[in-house]
Structure 1
Amino acid sequence: MEFKHKTILVLGAGVSGIAVAGILQKHGGRVILNDAKSASKIQQDFTFLERCGIQLIFGRQDESLLADIDYLIVSPGISIHLPLVQTAKALGITVMSEIEVAYRLCRAPIVAITGTNGKTTTTTLIGDMLRTTGRDIVVGGNIGAALSKEVETIGANGLVVAEISSFQLEGIINFRPQIAAVLNITPDHLDRHHSIDLYQQTKEHIFKNQTPADYLVLNYDDEKIRPMAERAAAKVMYFSRKEQLPQGVFVQQGSFTIAWDDQTYVICPVADLKIKGAHNVENVLAACGVAFLAGVEPARLAAVIKTFQGVEHRIEFVAGINGAEYYNDSKATNPESSIKALEAFAGNVILIAGGRDKMTDLAEFTGLIKEKVDQLILLGEAKDRFRAAAIKAGVVNIHTAPSLDEAVILAHHLAKPGQIVLLSPACSSYDMFANYEERGKTFKNLVRKLG
């Protein structure tokens, strides 16, 4: 019982912070939950935590919190580079992320997926594939409930499937997945990681503790990812949408195919996949690789692929109204993800974009907007920079809206039969919504009211 009788400070009173505070208290820790925001600005009910004996300190975040602390747990929203965290390290306090806590408490092997885009779809698909084995499966991490909460329910014979973000990987120490996957690397969260190189280095933490007994699934088509094999101790399986590999997962004669240990397995035709976009072909290839290495038979992989409907908020069909189709892609929180959404459609798009700006480069995104978008509606804190970039790229028919409500109404007025109304913000949601889920649900409710 590593955490028993230890004094533990948890920074960040969000979903992960609250979950890990409760778990650590349950395991005998003396827990303090802290947030720089005042309690009145945090939309959470802390009654249960208080009843459990957890000390709550809100509205300040200073070095006095570190007195007599054994462990400092950082929530994903708290940067490892925060001065208070760096001071804790200098004092010899063990600093770790919530997923490191989950790993230390987990009895089952862990499968972990990271990358800039496609994590949720791939993680969800892997979970569905692994459930066909009859083993107990839990899915968590950056998707659904906090990982530390999810692992409490799983025994040694089960399997944990975890979507892992760069924020969560900042604070790992011993975290070691049996199978890890890196899907892609494009600029994201540069406001926190400061450079693409540091961002990539953080992503590579997912395999830094792996051994030759473990597996690492890598995107052969991504020039930043392919060389990771040279830095990995695990056995590497590549996947590729563009090339037929001598060993790995790829598309051959129009079918998903696995070549491994001198055997070739044809899974099913790519045409059987119901979800849109070339990026989803890549997600399926990665999922097939991970699930195959975890013991799922090819026929079961095919059965899941043929019935998979995708995930909420990712190019999700909402409604057809007066001949126009409306899609919710609220999970597109960076330009690269929105590019993939636009590439899924032939054109004639009315695009709603904008939110909290991550300050990523917009040249490729606005170039594709010029090619595929008939009307561009911008909102949120990013709208002025996005508008300037769109004008520079030669985009015409640019509108701004003060809210998502008014953006949807405007899109409805502009939409003609055969057009696609697409919410794909290319930004985070935090200027207007608690998270991308709330933004997506709001969009869907607004669209359904139009009908």
Structure 2
Amino acid sequence: MSYQNQSALVIGAGISGFAAAKYLAAAGARVTLSDAKEEADAEKDAVTQKHIEALRTQGISCVFGAQREELIEGTDLIVLSPAVPERIPLVQAARARGIRVTTEVELAGEIAHAPIYAVTGTNGKTTTTTLLGELLCAHFPAVGIGGNIGVPLIDVAQEIPADGAIAAEISSYQMEATTHFHPAVAAELNVTPDHIVRHGSMEVYQAMKEKLFAAQTAEDFLVLNCDDPHTRGMAERARGKVCFFSRREELAEGAAVRADGMIVIRWDGEEHVLISARELGIPGGHNVENALAAAAVAFFAGVTPAEMRPVLRAFKGVEHRIEFVRTLDGVSYYNDSKATNTDSAIKALEAFDGHMILIAGGDDKLTDLTEFMELVHARVDELILVGDAAERFGAAALDAGIAPEHIHRAGYLMEKAVQTARELAAPPQTVLLSPACASFDMYGGYEERGRDFKRIVNEL
């Protein structure tokens, strides 16, 4: 699609918006970037300030503050950043005028030379996408990893040639205004309650996830988690060939764990043996699921079992996801800051054998805590709570039968939480930061929270 001499409005001053604005300007469009923040607030972040300066050098107009309807006068195209919901008045006014509204991800799909292999899910998508990228590297001469993983997909789409491959992590936010994004292989890992405040209901949230494969054709592949009822049911609405994966059921066709513990892919009447689940370089049952999904996507991309085996053994996971930090006085410390919801924290707790000192809490998403606290009661010796969620989490812990003397509060101080854990812990216990919450009450993101935790632990 040509954007020469078109007028484009990019809404949202984040990395996705910056990348879309730069691409459109290079493609010949007249580009304006708008953000509802005041410019002084936006430029408090040094990285954002540098991006704004670079955009203006490229001739892109940057407008901050109130987003009035005059902004869309004469506009041919609007590109939404993931943080910007479709429901804002400016977008609704644009749709009423028939102006095309799209996303950076969709633009990336339009211009990509290489096939895109996309992964979504409430939990596990960063680990799965990263592992998928490593698997693709074993087969393709050039591989890019982008999307919700910190690198704009549109940047990757421009860089990777036709004989390469692109691994894309896709969030529900990125799919809201997307209509024809078309991955050659799409994977749906799981769907559990999350982002309900943004989407309004679990049904809408799942619908956003399903948009990942809505534009596929009969020539494409859809990889689905057979163990999750939400993703299993997606097969009824699939347009491409469906491949299930399961760590609980030995599938006649699909990716699964055999009775003897071997990971296999069964397809078109053949069984392809990979490695034993015990050989995986990443711990926990949930990571078996992630490996099954990544291997299935890679298989349909053309990666051979022989190419996959050494990668599956060597891959050690991603930062902030059950990341080993250090052992001190016989006690191991793990950073699982990426567990921003209860389902993800449950998976982390299940990866260990109990005797945990758990640091949890943060910016509360107000999801149900029943199942999470039942597992905390069963596996956690001491619970240390931080942030806005501490009061509600503490009450839920008491309701689950956890004794008050095993519930500790550290306010908004990670240093106090870690020091409390140090004072309480003794072998064979493990200290785990797995917050089951977002981080924005104390930090700018889960990455900042995880790195702060690691700094404090390493300074003990």
Q: TM-score range by the shorter chain?
A: over 0.9
The amino acid across from 2:3 in the alignment is F
- The reply on whether 1:407 has 2:417 as its aligned counterpart is yes
1:150 Cα deviation (Å)? 1.6
Which position in structure 2 is the counterpart of 1:384?
391
User: Secondary structure at the residue paired with 1:177?
Assistant: coil
Q: Output the CA distance in 2 between the equivalents of 1:212 and 1:369.
A: 44
Q: Which amino acid aligns with 2:2?
A: E
By how many angstroms is 1:405 displaced? 2.2
The 10-residue stretch of structure 1 (195-204 or 428-437) with the greater mean CA deviation from structure 2: 428-437
Aligned counterpart, 1:200: 206
**Residue number in structure 2 paired with 1:10:** 10
> Does 2:70 align with 1:64?
yes
Structure 1 runs (4+) greater than 6 angstroms displaced: none
1:206 aligns to what SS in structure 2? Answer: coil
TM superposition shift of 1:58: 1.1
Corresponding residue for residue 127 of structure 1: 133
Instruction: Give distance in 2, aligned partners of 1:216 and 1:241.
Output: 18
CA distance in structure 1 between the partners assigned to 2:399 and 2:172 by the alignment: 32
Name the amino acid aligned to 1:407. A
State the partner residue of 2:20: 20
1:51-450 pair list within 5 angstroms: 51-252=57-258, 253-396=260-403, 397-401=406-410, 402-450=412-460
What's the CA shift string for 1:200-254, capped at 9, x where partnerless?
1110000000000100000111111112111111001111111111111111111
The 8 Å contact of residues 321 and 336 in structure 2, kept in 1 or not, is answered as: yes
Per-residue CA deviations over 1:113-133 (Å, capped at 9, x if unaligned) read 001111011111111111111
What's the TM-score once normalised by structure 2's chain length?
0.96
SS at match of 1:207: coil
Q: Distance in 1 between matches of 2:423 and 2:35?
A: 43
Q: Aligned AA for 1:53? A: G
Deviates more, 1:421-430 or 1:160-169: 421-430
- For the residue of structure 1 that corresponds to 2:37, the secondary structure is coil
Amino acid at match of 1:84: L
Where in structure 1 are there 5+ consecutive unaligned residues?
A: none
Amino acid in the other structure paired with 1:243: E
Q: Distance in 2 between matches of 1:340 and 1:156?
A: 37
Q: Which amino acid aligns with 2:230?
A: K
**SS, match of residue 211 in structure 2:** helix
Identical pairs, percent: 51
2:396 is paired with a residue whose SS is helix
Q: Distance in 1 between matches of 2:418 and 2:37?
A: 32
Give the C-alpha shift of residue 134 in structure 1. Answer: 3.2
Partner SS, residue 230 of structure 2: coil
Measure the CA separation in 2 of the matches of 1:5 and 1:392.
62
Whether the aligned pair in 2 keeps the contact of 1:25 and 1:52 (CA below 8 Å) is yes
User: What is the deviation of 1:59?
Assistant: 2.0
Deviation at 1:179, TM superposition (A): 0.4
Measure how far apart 1:39 and its partner are: 1.9
Q: Distance in 2 between matches of 1:428 and 1:14?
A: 18
Higher mean displacement: 16-25 or 206-215: 16-25
For the aligned residues, what is the CA RMSD? 1.1
Give the conservation status (yes or no) of the 8 Å contact 1:116–1:183: yes
In 2, are the aligned partners of 1:8 and 1:70 still within 8 Å (CA)? yes
CA 89–336 in structure 1, closer or farther in 2 if over 3 Å, else same? same
Q: Which runs of 5+ in 2 are unaligned?
A: none
Per-residue deviation, 1:155: 1.4
Distance 2:413 2:64 in 1: 31
Report if the CA contact (8 A) 2:180-2:215 is conserved.
yes
Equivalent position SS for 1:134: coil
Counterpart residue type for residue 400 of structure 2: A
8 Å CA contact 1:191–1:359 kept in 2: the answer is no
> Which letter maps to 2:25?
Q
Please state whether the residue corresponding to 2:243 is helix, strand or coil. strand
Is residue 361–residue 393 contact of structure 2 (8 Å, CA) maintained in 1? Answer: yes
Q: What is the rounded CA distance, in whole Å, between the counterparts of 2:355 and 2:68 in structure 1?
A: 53
1:124 alignment partner, SS class: helix
Query: For each residue in 1:124-161, what CA deviation from the matched residue of structure 2 results, as whole angstroms up to 9, or x when unmatched?
Result: 11111111113311000011311111211111221111
TM-score (norm 1): 0.98
Local SS of the residue matching 2:436: coil
Aligned-partner SS, 1:225: helix
Tell me, in whole angstroms, the C-alpha distance in 2 between the residues paired with 1:306 and 1:186: 29
CA–CA distance in structure 1, aligned partners of residues 217 and 343 of structure 2: 32
